[in-house]
């Protein structure tokens, strides 16, 4: 508390002059300030702190930085680079992500550089003529989490962490385990017992993390991990860590670059613990303020109905959020008490955004369409497409709008749900069950004829 109280005495003028805690960055010849700052009371602490809630009011802290001047030409000139760190889709935008971090302190695989997909069947399904899907499931560990993890893991090294820890529904655990392994850091992963997709759990085990199955849901694991981080001296790598948010901003910077800095009208994405919601709004406002874009797209955050406290709070005018016991097939967003609630409100308000929810039937139906288009994604990702379809039907999004949807995780993250759906265990109308035949040509010929007829 002493350190935080002492740093609170710095004025906004001193922050602007960059005289608070920071690292020298050679190209600019100045010290660029980086502090952790409470968005509610303004308290500040060192970026090397391992405490990510305000000691005065318990709010999650933000990263506050003095960002240097940038240009489209700077980032476009690095596009396609073979040299580290610019070959990363996160660190290509280093000046907008973490300008003060020494380049030799970056922990990267590299990550990012994910594509935009366009599909006639997705256009028809959503009712939007100009829709593209940015597939963050093509990051190194199969989800968007790698973007935030490269920054947070780099900061863990700067802070001298002896071990890292996280609670996870699966994707965070895979990413934490991988990035910890790169630097030889012990990783402790807490996941809900029986509620984590095997593809994700397998990654954490394979990367060498100590994996702990918690009898409870994600929110129970998250409460325990926050207590453990403080009591056991572990460096927390959940999205409560604000450096995760800084890395996830790069999804927006890269998307804008892919649109040649002419933003779409809407950006649609799944919302669980609300780290992406927080990051996206922050990134878009910063991009506008830096002169990279001339307008801010609207955000459409989509929750699963069974885990939708943020959507309920939005409908109530953000008067407050009531945590819920989450239940949804979309395990990556099965979160009932999101830690980034207040950060996310700022993003929705800054972008004139909207928050909706869709049920599991809609998510699985949309997933079947995305998968059959040859794109593929885990269930939580497909809340994006289900949400866009609903928003068009409700008149929130015009069929003529330019829309980008974010797919957050790879199809192979949750193969069990995909197989169960196509075996008919969810009762969907787009199933594609496997066919068993005898080993003879006549039997195979009948299957081929049926398949050929179905494709016509």
Kindly report whether the peptide bond that precedes residue 85 is cis, defined as omega within 30 degrees of 0: yes
Tokens of residue 393, six digits: 């039907």
Q: What is the mean pLDDT of residues 162-175?
A: 90
Residue closest to 197 by CA, chosen among 332, 368, 361, 338 = 332
Q: Note the pLDDT of residue 13.
A: 33
At residue 146, the pLDDT reads 98
Write the pLDDT tens digit of every residue in 121-163. 999 999 999 999 999 999 999 999 999 999 999 999 999 999 9
17: pLDDT strictly greater than 70? no
CB 309 within 8 Å of CB 338: yes
Phi, psi of 157 (to 5 degrees): -65, -45
pLDDT at 151: 98
Residue 226: predicted pLDDT: 86
Work out the average pLDDT over 9-28: 31
Is domain 116-142+244-422 annotated with CATH 3.65.10.10? no
Residue 266 main-chain phi, psi, to 5 deg: -135, 145
Q: Please provide the DSSP assignment of 278-315 as one string.
A: HHHHHHHHHHHHTTS-SS-PEEEEEEEGGG-HHHHHHH
The predicted model scores a pTM of 0.90
Helices first, then strands: H and E counts in the chain:
18, 14
What is the per-residue pLDDT for 454?
65
And the tokens for 83? Answer: 């040299």
- Complete DSSP assignment for 155-220: HHHHTT-S-EEEE-SSHHHHHHHHHHHHHT--EEEEEETT-S-HHHHHHHHHTT-EEEEESS-HHH
pLDDT of residue 227: 87
pLDDT value of residue 20 = 29
Integer Cα distance of 244 and 228 in angstroms: 19
User: Residue 259: is its pLDDT beyond 90?
Assistant: yes
Which residue's structure tokens are 């947070």? Answer: 152
Q: What is the pLDDT of residue 28?
A: 31
Reported as a pLDDT band with limits 50, 70 and 90, residue 191 is confident
Predicted confidence band of residue 395 (pLDDT cuts 50, 70, 90): very high
What residue spans define the domains of the chain?
1-66, 116-142+244-422
Burial of 425 (0-12, 13-18, 19+ CB in 10 A): exposed
Q: What is the pLDDT of the chain when averaged over all its residues?
A: 90
Compute the chain's Rg from CA coordinates: 22
Give residue-wise pLDDT tens across range 328-384: 999 999 999 999 999 999 999 999 999 999 999 999 999 999 999 999 999 999 999
> Region 396-410: what's the mean pLDDT?
98
3-class DSSP state for residue 32?
strand
The CA distance from 170 to 400, in Å, is: 36
Q: Is 244 in contact with 151 (CB distance < 8 Å)?
A: yes
Return the percentage of the chain with pLDDT > 90, whole number: 82
**DSSP result, 426-455:** T--SS--------SSHHHHHHHHHHHHHHH
Q: Is pLDDT of 32 > 80?
A: no
**310 and 297 in contact (C-beta within 8 Å)?**
no
> 111 and 88 in contact (C-beta within 8 Å)?
yes
- Mean pLDDT, to the nearest integer, of 242-248? 97
383-393 vs 360-372: helix crossing angle, rounded to 10: 110
How many residues would you count in the chain?
456
Please give the full DSSP string across 387-428, using - where no structure is assigned.
HHHHHHHTTSS-TTSEEEEEE-B-GGG-HHHHHHHHTTTT--
pLDDT of residue 199 exceeding 90: no
The strand ranges marked E within 16-75 are 22-25, 30-37, 44-45, 62-65
Bridge partner list, 268: 300, 405
Q: What is the pLDDT of residues 419-443, one digit of tens each?
A: 999 999 999 999 999 999 999 999 9
Tell me the three state secondary structure of residue 371. Answer: helix
């Amino acid at each position: 508390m002493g350190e935080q109280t002492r740093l609170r005495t710095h004025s906004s003028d001193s922050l602007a002059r960059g005289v608070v805690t920071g690292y020298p960055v050679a190209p600019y010849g100045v010290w660029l300030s980086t502090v952790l700052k409470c968005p509610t009371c303004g308290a500040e602490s060192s970026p090397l702190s391992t405490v990510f809630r305000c000691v005065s009011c318990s709010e999650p802290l933000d990263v506050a930085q003095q960002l240097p001047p940038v240009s489209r030409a700077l980032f476009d000139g690095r596009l396609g680079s073979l040299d580290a760190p610019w070959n990363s889709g996160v660190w290509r935008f280093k000046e907008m992500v973490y300008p003060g971090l020494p380049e030799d302190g970056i922990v990267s695989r590299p990550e990012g550089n994910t594509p935009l997909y366009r599909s006639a069947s997705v256009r028809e399904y959503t009712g939007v003529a100009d829709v593209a899907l940015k597939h963050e499931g093509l990051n190194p560990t199969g989800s968007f989490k790698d973007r935030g993890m490269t920054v947070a893991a780099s900061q863990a090294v700067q802070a001298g962490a002896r071990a890292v820890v996280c609670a996870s529904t699966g994707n965070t655990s895979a990413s934490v385990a991988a990035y910890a392994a790169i630097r030889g850091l012990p990783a402790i992963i807490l996941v809900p017992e029986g509620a984590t997709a095997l593809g994700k759990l397998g990654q954490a085990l394979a990367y060498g993390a100590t994996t702990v199955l918690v009898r409870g849901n994600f929110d129970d694991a998250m409460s325990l991990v926050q207590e453990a981080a403080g009591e056991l001296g572990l460096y927390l790598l959940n999205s409560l860590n604000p450096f995760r948010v800084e890395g996830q901003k790069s999804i927006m910077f890269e998307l804008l670059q892919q649109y040649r800095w002419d933003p779409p009208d809407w950006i649609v994405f799944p919302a669980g613990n609300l780290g992406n919601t927080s990051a996206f709004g922050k990134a878009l406002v910063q991009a506008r303020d830096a002169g990279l874009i001339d307008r801010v797209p609207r955000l459409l955050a989509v929750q699963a109905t069974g885990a939708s406290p943020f959507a309920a709070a939005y409908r109530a005018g953000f008067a407050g959020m009531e945590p819920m016991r989450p239940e949804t097939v979309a395990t990556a967003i099965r979160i009932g008490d999101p830690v980034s609630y207040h950060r996310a409100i700022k993003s929705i308000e800054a972008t004139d955004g909207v928050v909706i929810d869709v049920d599991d039937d809609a998510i699985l139906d949309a997933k079947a369409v995305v998968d059959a288009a040859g794109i593929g994604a885990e269930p939580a990702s497909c809340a994006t497409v289900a949400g866009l379809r609903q928003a068009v039907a409700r008149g929130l999004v015009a069929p003529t709008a330019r829309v980008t949807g974010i797919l957050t995780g790879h199809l192979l993250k949750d193969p069990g749900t995909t197989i169960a759906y196509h075996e008919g265990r969810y009762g969907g109308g787009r199933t594609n069950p496997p066919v068993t035949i005898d080993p003879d040509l006549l039997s195979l010929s009948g299957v081929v004829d049926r398949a050929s007829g179905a494709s016509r």
